[in-house]
Structure 1
């Protein structure tokens, strides 16, 4: 799948976001090593800490289906403001993705491009825990 298709998949989820408090819909699409794409949108909760982020919804769906290796992630918002994954989502991604995995953040006309390692250097890894 090319970047434009992955971006389109992420943008398509924006209408499904449940964001009555922030009114800030976010969508994500993650591509597995086998080329399958899983999408997610943010789902807010009145206490905020129970809210689900688009990236964790997307990777959660992929994990549920047995995927453990990923090629790249696209994140978008209705604002097209190059939103990046938050720290919690970065740590979740780091559990399954290597430091070189591309993270593409939608600017509207293009992407801000990062690697996961740039976004979360020196992350906690399973190896650090002796696993």
Structure 2
């Protein structure tokens, strides 16, 4: 069982930033995940994932948001979230929070073992420490 915490207002703001970046930049078959990371100084960096025809070179939104943050001098992270944008053929009206993939779990934990991740768990949005999602990290 995951150790989770309820979301705070600033966490909902982070989700809105992830929704905003993918809402503005959604392109079917190219960009459908938006991510946002809040640094420990409170700055927010958002990005979309970059899809590639060769799947193994696709870059997740979380990785790009972290890279954007680092490129701007912010190296310590408080919280990160990713959201999926519905495709035109789906009967879904709004974005939803998605858990980071395995590679992103590794990346997030490599750059901050105390980083919190917003996820959907037992039908509600919560946050947990990244290591809760990656137990027994090497």
Of 39, 44, 60, 1:37 maps to 44
Paired residues, number: 120
CA distance 1:26–1:75, change in 2 (3 Å): same
Of 22, 28, 31, 1:14 maps to 22
User: Which is bigger in relative contact order (C-alpha 8 A, separation at least 6)?
Assistant: 2
Structure 1 residue runs without a partner (length 5+):
125-131
The reply on whether 1:113 has 2:127 as its aligned counterpart is yes
TM-score, scaled relative to structure 1:
0.79
Of 45, 49, 56, 2:63 maps to 56
Of 33, 46, 53, 1:46 maps to 53
Structure 2 residue runs without a partner (length 5+):
1-8, 87-94
Q: CA RMSD in A?
A: 2.3
- Deviating beyond 3 angstroms after TM superposition, the runs of 4 or more aligned structure 1 residues are 79-82
